[in-house]
Amino acid sequence: MNPSRLLAAPLILYLIVFFYAPLLYIALVGASIEGFPRSYIEAVSRPEFHVFYIKGAAAATIATLMAIILSVPVAFYAAYYARRIERALIVVAMVSTFWVDVLLRALSLKLLFQAIGVSPGFWPMVVGLAYEVLPIVFIASYLGASQAPRELIDAARTLGAGPLQAFARVALPISAPWIAAGAAASFVYSFADYAVPSLLGGTTGFTVGNLIYTLILEGDRWGVGSAVAVMLTLVSAAGAALLFGRLYRIEVGR
């Protein structure tokens, strides 16, 4: 074995113990309690579940797009144009929300919306989800922007490209896989989130995360709840794999 591969051993072991093993256990629970086909067929075929899937996917998609629109320009500015102290301040300001517990962040937003007279609903929930995932997209976008040498941007500007054109034609294609990684993580996080929809969604905040919680912890439907959780994980993983595979082929063919 290559000794350098040992560097990845702790992470691989961590993922096996704390991610893949619990996921396998959940899959076995979903297959054993109510029978393998039955629990998964019910999770797919029940029409009332489709509403939660569609609503959760719509909220996650909009929140991810909002996070990309808000964070990518700031990430590129920090990577290419900000001075060192300003860059450090921007990065700290963008990621500092992760230092606060997710429930406290969601509750703070709820109190803010109440103060300005906004009732819980779909759009407050989407804003809350975008606020939650904004640091994820920013970090990925900033790392991606840092991969494009500043000399390429300067060369594009020297050849007559404006700032937006240099951004769109030079920096953005290089950092696209990083932005996609942040977008994929943002979508999965938002799609399965429980705290923000519960506090900010009101009557429209019952999404996939709430569905899993209700089925397992309130409805005692461990089989169906486990099936929904496993399918959510598999669909998210498949979507991310297709996205990264497509971007990788684009980068290789460049």
pLDDT (tens digit, 9 = 90+) per residue, 166-224?
Answer: 777 777 777 888 888 888 889 888 988 888 998 898 877 888 888 888 888 776 788 88
pLDDT at 134 over 70: yes
Q: Where are the chain's structural domains?
A: 50-225
- What is the pLDDT confidence band of residue 251, given thresholds at 50, 70 and 90? low
**Average of pLDDT values for 15-43?**
79
Label residue 220 left, alpha or beta by phi (over 0 means left) and psi (-120 to 50 means alpha).
left
Check residues 146 and 90 and name the one with the higher pLDDT.
90
Q: How many residues does the chain have?
A: 254
- What is the pLDDT confidence band of residue 252, given thresholds at 50, 70 and 90? very low
CA distances from 205 to 8, 101, 170, 177, 208 (A): 39, 20, 40, 31, 9
Ordered DSSP codes for 135-148: HHHHHHHHHHHHHS
pLDDT reported for residue 244:
67
**Average of pLDDT values for 86-107?**
87
Q: Which fold has domain 50-225?
A: MetI-like fold (1.10.3720)
Check residues 250 and 128 and name the one with the higher pLDDT.
128
pLDDT reported for residue 247:
61
